[in-house]
Amino acid sequence: MSDKILLTKLRLVEGVWHGSLKHLGRKGTWQPNIEVTHLDSPIDGVDVQEDRVEECWHVSVPIPADRIADGVQTFVITDRNEDVLLGSFSIVAGDALAEDIRAELSLLRAELDMLKKAFRRHCVETLGGG
């Protein structure tokens, strides 16, 4: 990631990722050349608009419906002029994910039950031994 260019996520709404882009070294003369890829394929329709009041660039990335699938889909944002990685965002979806989350939650509940029993046992031993 570049230490001169700062990309900040603003929101993801209605299938469009929005971010703000600032060049910390050059102001006024810099113009970004943004490319967004998914699985090394470019995403069409990326929009970059200058905001002279905020001294930044607004980036909008429409997420094509054919790029949404089960699992984790990662979109990589680069600046072709600076030849740097600016950031990325991911979309996580699908039944497989739901099963993973349920398994993790079940494991956490079991660990919490074990800790509660150990804590209660400790309290009984401490009060009983005093």
| pLDDT on residue 28 | 64
> How do residues 11-65 score in pLDDT, each as one tens digit?
999 999 999 999 887 666 788 999 999 998 999 999 999 998 988 999 999 999 9
- Shared-domain flag, residues 81 and 33: yes
**16 and 26 part of one domain:** yes
pTM, two decimal places = 0.71
Note whether 71 and 12 are same-domain residues.
yes
What CATH number is given to the structural domain containing 53?
A: 2.60.40.10
Q: Which residue has the higher pLDDT, 6 or 1?
A: 6
State the total domains in the chain. Answer: 2
- pLDDT reported for residue 130: 54
Task: Mention every residue, 6+ apart, whose C-beta is less than 8 A from residue 111.
Answer: none
- Would you say residue 120 has pLDDT above 80? yes
Give the tens place of pLDDT for each residue, 68-103: 988 889 999 999 988 889 999 999 887 766 777 777
Residue at token pair 């070294």: 25
By the 10 Å C-beta count (0-12 exposed, 13-18 middle, 19+ buried), 67 is classed as middle
Do 122 and 82 share a structural domain? no
Mean pLDDT within 119-126: 90
Instruction: Return the pLDDT at 45.
Output: 97
| Residue 109 DSSP code | H
Looking at residue 104, its pLDDT comes to 80
Does residue 2 have a pLDDT over 60? Answer: no
Q: Which domain holds residue 80?
A: 5-93
Are residues 80 and 129 located together in one domain of the fold? no
- Tell which wins on pLDDT, 103 or 122: 122
Residues 31 and 68 both lie in one domain: yes
- Check pLDDT > 90 for residue 8: yes
Q: What is the DSSP letter of 27?
A: -
Phi, psi of 85 (to 5 degrees): -80, 125
